[in-house]
Chain A
């Protein structure tokens, strides 16, 4: 009973080797993109109290908007909310081409999403957490940002726009 050896057919062995090599290749590609090219996912930034984040005068989200922190460098404090209505504050922003914008997004009620079309910015917005991602806008145009997580009946109308001027 203890003499059985594991029998693997040669075709099957080759298939398993090819599968393993493929998966290692994929994992390598993802790792190179993450650590070589710096295409990274969001990291913990800051925690806030969702009950007061929009009203506390010391909270940047009590006065959401775009702040220029250095020439061509901006911080965008954005509040996502479903109550009293589904919207981002601010809804519209304008920046010159070549600007680098760090987005700091949080929610004062339920979970939301934040996806800027035609960019790599796409993340969850969770009450109590601040989501941060930095994007450089080189091409002029209008970039819609849309809500990508169900947040109630108005989820589908929740969006805003960034205008990048030449």
Chain B
């Protein structure tokens, strides 16, 4: 913290005459910038981009686990190895995979996409809404603030798959707390997983519970960048709490909320474990979202890499389109990125 004390005051007079030339200066800047981003770029290029580009290529082939090798060799325990040409070696198939997926010949692309959109929209809306509300509340001075903060953050600290199991128990149709409470107030117990929408509801509730703490913390952090003087000035001007929230807090949170909404959407769209563990796609695969549906379609039994990649590319495309529109919408309100 001593560094803060050592801060040069902003009032330090500017004006050193011996500035380096413009060209040289920009070179220096770029050199540093590149040095700073290089490690990340290398790691991402090797671990994500190579598989990603390979995935795009695979989506135009028929490659599966069974036909990826040109020849299949069988080693005998008594020594020796017999190799035979793979009769169904993979090949380039053009857009076949996309046609099969989009026409519904394989899987239920459109139903899964619909479910995914509902799932993503509802989850992110509640994450952001509740996260913002709670962050605003516990950002105020009050008694027990630290206690509230820790309690509200706790759901984030439990490994997600344990929480998923906990919620699955709560929604258990026979032994669960949810139905016990309903029965206690005189409502018939609900067969949560017999209907597409109630099944999806259980997963959404679970995911909202899981995701709000993250949003809250991120927004709470964001509120710290808003200068307190703005609030003071507003208060002196007689602005109401709502006006202060609307005119100071929300605009001040823009960079942070833009990031968390954008990434929150992408993550929720691809959120695998909750659907997979809580609803297991029940009833009869109707609560499946794109990632879980694709996983079951492509990775059960002999793994179909080309099919999985096709889904991956479709998911990527949907999210890219979303990002572009999102960015455009934000740009209308002022440049952000």
Chain A complexes with chain B: no
Residues of chain B whose beta carbon lies under 8 Å from any beta carbon of chain A: none
Residues of chain A whose beta carbon lies under 8 Å from any beta carbon of chain B: none
